Amino acid sequence: MISNISLLTPKRILRESSATARALRSLALSLIALVAASCGSRTREATPSATPSVTPLPVAELLRRADEQYAARADLGQVREGLKTIRRIRAVEFDNYEAAWRAARLDYTLGDRSDDDREREQAFTDGMESGETATRVEPNRAEGHFWLGANYGGYAEFKGVLYGITYTVKLRREMEAVIKIDPSFEAGSAYLGLGQLDRELPEMLGGDPQRAVKTLEDGLKYGENNALLRLELAQAYLATKRKDDARRELTWVVNSKPDPNHLPEHEEAVKTARELLAKNF
């Protein structure tokens, strides 16, 4: 989410007890592998974070710094610093697409991993607003749609059932847009998002495990080395009682070599794959 959402990142589990809430847990896309700051719509419940002071550094240099800070995302302090860096650009170039989608990416990462509920809500809110800005400025580019969708999933996970129903529809729309624009984006991570959605949602809300399998298998055309995609496919196989296929995919994940650009997500994928192997085989 992957992305590694979700990738990308098997951290998609809602803290609710009902079946619908459990179904929404995985929608916060860890994806895995995965790819902008605030603004856009002002109708959310939380208020966008304050804008830091502007400095005369070139935009290209600030973008480079933000990318380095995202690369060090295992340290949430670096994610917070990355958001500060991006806001320096948006203070003078509010509609800068490159800054907007990067802000959504950083906000999703912060919201997904923070233990502070107020920080999580603010991050997802800012991420949705900046993702909406990115898709408005460049509707035919994949980054904005992908990270907007990831933040919709994160917000659904955070807020619970009633919000979740609304935001899963939006999540599906954004991931379908990514596939239409660039199906290979982030090694097929949009397929990961859609497959995860279909596996976790109850049928009454549009879920379909068989469709999840097909979607994820289609995604392998673009992400055969995407560990989070294969992990999700394994879980879809388990949901459709294809245990031999599930074992094959889980074993692949455990033995896979990490992508240096997605080390945190890979470590989480391997951990989850080991747990599923121990539980089911």
Q: Which residue in 71, 110, 106, 72 sits closest to 86, CA to CA?
A: 106
- The 10s digit of each residue's pLDDT in 129-157 is 999 999 999 999 999 999 999 999 999 88
| CB within 8 Å of 17: residues ≥ 6 apart | none
Q: Measuring CA to CA, how many Å separate 229 from each of 103, 124, 125, 187?
A: 24, 23, 26, 9
Q: Which residue in 63, 110, 113, 122 sits closest to 87, CA to CA?
A: 63
Q: Measuring CA to CA, how many Å separate 169 from each of 18, 29, 208, 270, 277?
A: 19, 14, 14, 29, 32
User: Sign of the C-alpha dihedral, residues 59, 61, 63, 66?
Assistant: negative
Share of the chain above pLDDT 70, in %: 79
* DSSP 8-class letter at 242: -
∠ CA 107-113-114, nearest 5°, is 85
Question: What is the model's pLDDT at position 7?
Answer: 39
Task: Give the Cα separation of 226 and 59 in Å (integer).
Answer: 31
- The 10s digit of each residue's pLDDT in 198-226 is 998 888 888 999 999 999 999 999 999 99
Burial of 118 (0-12, 13-18, 19+ CB in 10 A): exposed
Task: Give the Cα separation of 216 and 271 in Å (integer).
Answer: 20
Share of the chain above pLDDT 90, in %: 70
- The 10s digit of each residue's pLDDT in 16-48 is 334 444 444 444 434 433 333 333 333 344 444
* Amino acid at position 21, single letter: A
Asked if residues 112 and 135 have their Cβ atoms less than 8 Å apart, the reply is: no
> Helix, strand, coil proportions of the chain in percent (round to 5)?
65, 0, 35
Q: Is the pLDDT of residue 50 over 90?
A: no
* DSSP 8-class letter at 63: H
Mention the CATH class of domain 19-223. mainly alpha
Model confidence pTM above 0.85: no
Question: What is the model's pLDDT at position 28?
Answer: 41
To which residue do tokens 């806001």 refer? 87
Task: Give the Cα separation of 58 and 23 in Å (integer).
Answer: 44
Q: Measuring CA to CA, how many Å separate 142 from each of 35, 75, 262?
A: 10, 26, 19
User: Sign of the C-alpha dihedral, residues 37, 44, 6, 166?
Assistant: negative
Burial of 117 (0-12, 13-18, 19+ CB in 10 A): exposed
- The 10s digit of each residue's pLDDT in 78-104 is 999 999 999 999 999 999 999 999 999
